[in-house]
Amino acid sequence: MIEKWKKILELDEWDISTDSISNEQVYYPEDLDIKEFIGISIDHKQKYGLINHTRPLTDFDVVHELLHVKYPIWSEDQVNDYTHLTLFNNIQ
């Protein structure tokens, strides 16, 4: 799934890995109802990203995190909007 979206988003030169982590490794606010985590650590110099996740990844998750790589200055709202647009245009 990651290779597919790397190609679509023109991130072929990037090395993207994933790491499944436990919920015990993440701090969640007390008032948060759904306790799950997905996030990417990015090394732009080495062109490397690591997606940590506490649940199985979906296409939405992968596209979202890869967009953080491609557009590091975008706001979370911009990434969310473009994630939906990218999925709509490529899964039909």
The Cα 43–Cα 85 span in angstroms is: 26
Which residue blocks in the chain are alpha helix, DSSP H? 2-8, 59-70, 76-90
The Cα 61–Cα 68 span in angstroms is: 11
**Structure tokens given for 24:** 């015990």
- Cβ–Cβ < 8 Å for 26, 37: yes
Digit-coded pLDDT (tens) for 29-43: 888 778 889 999 999
What's the pLDDT score for residue 4? 94
Note the pTM of the prediction, 2 decimals: 0.90
What is the percent of the chain where pLDDT is above 90?
A: 77
What's the pLDDT score for residue 38? 93
Per-domain residue ranges of the chain: 2-90
